[in-house]
């Protein structure tokens, strides 16, 4: 008994059905990835807006503080000296002490503001990197699962087709 044409048609039909299933799985995965990327982009934009607002608030307060610092230095150092030499020297040292104290406060505040900006940027970056990594893991797993399912479907159908063809070949050999 020879291999009949309807057997090869059946195998071809099974292969075509398997490929349609695999294509459907891949299309579904691509849609999910696209939807998740779109949602992730919106979330990243919201985070960026929040980060921008925080950074601008810190810069605004730093600018206002710097203006007050310069104003205070101006007030301290532009007052006229009015006493004798010893009183003027004493006054100069007091003004220098006030100026150094203000400068120290300004440097500490500037360092704090700089750290706040850096922390804000790092938090936003870390969150975006985590989402990216989690997304990559999710889609790598989904792709591997799709591949595994396609291999199992194809393998099962190929094994069944090979077995059927083997039976026909065996039957044909025994018939002769």
Mean pLDDT of 22-26: 72
> Could you report the per-residue pLDDT of 47-70, keeping only the tens digit for each?
888 889 999 999 999 999 999 999
> Could you report the per-residue pLDDT of 91-104, keeping only the tens digit for each?
999 999 999 999 99
Q: How much is the pLDDT for 102?
A: 95
Longest dimension (CA), the chain: 134
Tokens for 55, please give them: 């950074």
Q: What is the percentage of the chain residues whose pLDDT exceeds 70? A: 80
pTM over 0.75: no
Cα–Cα dist 149/88, whole Å:
90
Cα–Cα dist 137/47, whole Å:
22
Domains for the chain: give ranges and CATH numbers.
5-160 (1.10.287)
pLDDT at 1 over 50: no
* Positive or negative torsion for Cα 63, 65, 68, 74: negative
Cα–Cα dist 62/60, whole Å:
5
pLDDT at 4 over 60: no
Residue among 15, 13, 16, 11 nearest 167 (CA): 11
Q: How much is the pLDDT for 117?
A: 93
Residue among 71, 109, 78 nearest 95 (CA): 78
Q: Of the given ranges (32-46, 54-68, 145-159), which has the lowest mean pLDDT?
A: 145-159
More confident call, 148 vs 157: 148
Alpha carbons within 13 angstroms on the beta-carbon side of residue 167 total 7
> pLDDT class for 45, splitting at 50, 70, 90?
confident
Distances (CA, A) of 169 to 6, 9, 158, 165, 173: 15, 16, 16, 6, 6
């Amino acid at each position: 008994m020879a291999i009949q044409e309807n057997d090869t048609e059946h195998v071809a039909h099974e292969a075509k059905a398997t490929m349609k299933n695999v294509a459907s799985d891949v299309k579904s995965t691509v849609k999910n990835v696209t939807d998740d990327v779109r949602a992730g982009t919106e979330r990243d934009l919201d985070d960026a807006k929040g980060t921008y607002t925080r950074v601008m608030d810190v810069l605004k307060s730093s600018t206002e503080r710097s203006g007050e610092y310069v104003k205070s230095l101006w007030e301290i150092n532009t007052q006229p000296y009015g006493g004798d030499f010893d009183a003027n020297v004493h006054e100069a040292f007091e003004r220098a002490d006030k100026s150094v104290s203000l400068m120290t406060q300004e440097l500490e505040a500037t360092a704090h503001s700089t750290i706040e900006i850096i922390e804000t940027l790092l938090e936003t970056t870390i969150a975006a990197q985590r989402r990216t990594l989690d997304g990559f893991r999710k889609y790598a797993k989904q792709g591997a699962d799709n591949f595994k399912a396609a291999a199992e479907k194809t393998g099962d159908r190929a094994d069944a087709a090979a077995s059927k063809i083997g039976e026909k070949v065996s039957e044909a050999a025994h018939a002769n």
